[in-house]
Amino acid sequence: MKETIQIHFPNFNSQLIEDIEKNATIKFFKAGEVLMRSGQYIKNTVLITSGKVKIYREDEEGGEFFMYYLQPGQACAVSMICATKQETSTIMAKVVEDAELIMIPLSLMEKWMATNRTWYEFVIETYRNRFEEVLTVIDNIAFKAMDQRLEFYLKQHKEARNCNDVKLSHQEIASELNTSREVISRLLKKMEQRGLVLLHRSHITVLF
């Protein structure tokens, strides 16, 4: 575990790494598994060491609203906040690529905030980064048309995977952007005509 932590969380000092090794557990999750549900009490926070986790909101009818992805070297700020305040989760977290996670008990997280400077700085940086991502999402909803939101969404996926091929169906994209499949299909066709994407049966190639 030590080497994995050093690779993905290089700013953690030796004492923190030792404490994580002694007290945390490693768990593996397959793509499609739900890690966190709305209304669930949080007992652990997680550090991502491999794979990818989608953070999103879900309405009463099962509709999804995409917020951001968590990748290796990151942690979920919402779970940290809910854990420290002993509140239930307001978001959903689902594994989208097979993932390895380090599970850290709530009691240790609280202790390290007071006793370990590198953990404290990591938590504050995590809060800041996730807050900026949420602000970007809000800006897209409030100030941008759906075609602009779609371009931003595809760019997010491309950068998150470091790959130009986005393996999502039109319906999946529509669900995450809270619109209809027909709207997404029409906008993607226009983007293809502009030379921004190539549409395939099972994926979309992003060219920008």
86's torsion region: left (phi>0), alpha (psi -120 to 50) or beta?
A: left
Distance CA 133, CA 106 (A): 24
Alpha helices, H only, 58-169: 77-85, 106-115, 117-143, 146-161
Q: Which tens digits make up the pLDDT trace of 143-199?
A: 889 999 999 999 988 887 788 999 999 998 998 888 899 999 999 999 999 999 999
Q: Which tens digits make up the pLDDT trace of 63-120?
A: 778 888 899 999 988 777 766 666 778 889 999 999 999 999 888 888 899 999 999 9
What is the pLDDT at residue 83?
64
Distance CA 156, CA 55 (A): 13
Domains, the chain, in order of start with CATH, read: 2-141 (2.60.120.10), 145-206 (1.10.10.10)
pTM, rounded to two decimals: 0.73
What is the pLDDT at residue 185?
96
Q: Which tens digits make up the pLDDT trace of 52-79?
A: 999 888 877 777 788 888 999 999 887 7
